[in-house]
Structure 1
């Protein structure tokens, strides 16, 4: 999976693009490793219209799998229109003990606002 380790100055965020399998497991575990979330680590997942926010919490109702993967439950995948084989951007934020999951179409919408080459017919 593609890893985007370059961090903006002053940022402690870790960026990872990874695939989602048919059971909702995220292939790349480097974001979880940056957060020191081991197998069984309790988590809570909050869904917004554009992202899933995963918090590492002692009282979280869910947990990192025994194999050390984050698994997005079907309700999360459906809410964000994430299908098996899709890629997502993970942003690990160690200073807040959380991981944010962005579907790629959300990133496309954000990037369209920055007038990338190819947008509006530019070469």
Structure 2
């Protein structure tokens, strides 16, 4: 992936299964953000099936001791994330932000993309 003029990758992508504890560990993505165990974070639902995670001094949650990112059950329920579902991760190191995209949001996006493709073929 090409680096920026500052020598940093603009976006680091990953895909991971949400484990039975409601956590995930995708080392390349999480390490690109520099979040060590214990780093306080804030997790917000921004769209159906889409979460934004940012480092936050007074954050309600934190990176686990083993380096995994926890998604608490109330947040998972609101975002329609299920244990064992795959999520798409997009880390923006220069913004210190992680976007978590669940299956419901991916389904919506791909339905829209498929409609555009199908519409283009019919013209």
- How many residue pairs get aligned? The number is 115
Distance 2:13 2:97 in 1: 13
Contact 1:25 1:71 (C-alpha < 8 Å) held by counterparts: yes
Question: TM-score under structure 1 normalisation?
Answer: 0.80
CA-atom RMSD, angstroms? 2.5
Q: Which deviations, in whole Å up to 9, do the C-alpha atoms of 1:17-76 show, x marking residues without a partner? A: 100012111132321100000111110111123211101122222110000000100011
5+ residue gaps, structure 1? 1-5
What does residue 16 of structure 2 align with?
A: 18
- Structure 1 counterpart SS, 2:70: coil
Q: For 2:78 and 2:118, locate their aligned partners in 1 and report how far apart those are by CA, in whole Å.
A: 28
For structure 2, list consecutive stretches of 5 or more residues without a partner in the other structure. Answer: none
| Residue equivalent to 1:43 | 41
Larger Cα Rg: Structure 1 or Structure 2?
2
Whole-angstrom CA distance in 1 between matches of 2:26 and 2:118: 31
**Equivalent pair of 1:22/1:83 in contact (CA under 8 Å):** no
Take 1:105 and 1:68, find their aligned partners in 2: how far apart are those partners?
26
Aligned mates of 2:118, 2:25 — CA distance in 1:
31
Distance 1:25 1:16 in 2: 15
Q: Which runs of 4+ in 1 moved over 4 A?
A: none
The TM-score, its normalising length taken from structure 2, stands at 0.80
Larger helix percent? 2
